[in-house]
Amino acid sequence: MTTRTFAPWVEPVAAELRHTRGEIANAARLMLPDIWGWLSPLPGWTYKDLLAHCASGDWVCQRILRSAIAGEQLDLGFLDQLNETNAALVDERKARTPEELVAELLAMGDETQELLSQLAAEHDGLKPEGAPMSLGEFLRNFHSHDMGHLTQLKTATDNVML
């Protein structure tokens, strides 16, 4: 495990993301193999698709972080294709096993942690042109993405009768 230091405003964000990412990995490890093909609460996505989305789900956050760290103006136009890009990323992972997706989820989370460790105090209030919120506000709410999908994943095990 890599030890990183974070700006004071980033530490709680990083801690929450480590926690939620670990919870998703733990939930996935507890799922029975047959469940992965079941339809999840997300229309058209199986539980395996949902895990694949979680495994690749930091792409927006990482793009924003890289731009902020580099001091570049972020063009939010890429968000116009958000649903299409998410669907393509899930499709790219169709052949991967749940174990491979969990490994990717954890690796993606580690990459996000590395980027978070590069933020400074001045990044907190950074607000790209046209953005509805500052970088700090976005990051303080980003864990809700994982939490929402964790809740959806857990519905699979909640519906299994032993």
1 lies in some domain: no
CATH code of residue 78: 1.20.120.450
Q: What is the pLDDT of residue 79?
A: 85
Q: What is the pLDDT of residue 160?
A: 62
pLDDT at position 1 is: 58
Q: How far is CA 46 from CA 50, 104, 117, in A?
A: 6, 18, 34
Going residue by residue through the chain, which has 162 residues, state the pLDDT in tens, using 9 for 90 and above: 578 999 999 999 999 999 999 999 999 999 999 999 999 999 999 999 999 999 998 999 999 999 999 999 888 888 889 899 999 999 999 999 999 999 999 999 999 999 999 999 999 999 988 888 999 999 999 999 999 999 999 998 776 654
Residue 5 lies in a domain: no
Query: Does a structural domain hold residue 67?
Result: yes
Question: In this structure, is residue 3 part of a structural domain?
Answer: no
- Indicate the number of domains in the chain: 1
Report helix, strand or coil for 39.
Answer: strand
Residue type, position 137, single letter: E
Determine what percent of the chain falls in helix, strand and coil, rounding each to the nearest 5. Answer: 70, 0, 30
Residue 159, pLDDT score: 67
Residue 162 domain-assigned (yes or no): no
Q: Is residue 86 part of a domain?
A: yes
C-alpha dihedral sign at 85, 98, 107, 159: positive
Reduced to 3 states (helix: H, G, I; strand: E, B; else coil), residue 99 is helix
Q: At 46, phi and psi to the nearest 5?
A: -80, 175
Domain enclosing residue 97, as ranges: 11-156
d(CA 147, CA 96): 23
pTM: 0.91
Contact status, residue 125 vs residue 3, Cβ threshold 8 Å: no
State the pLDDT at residue 129.
81
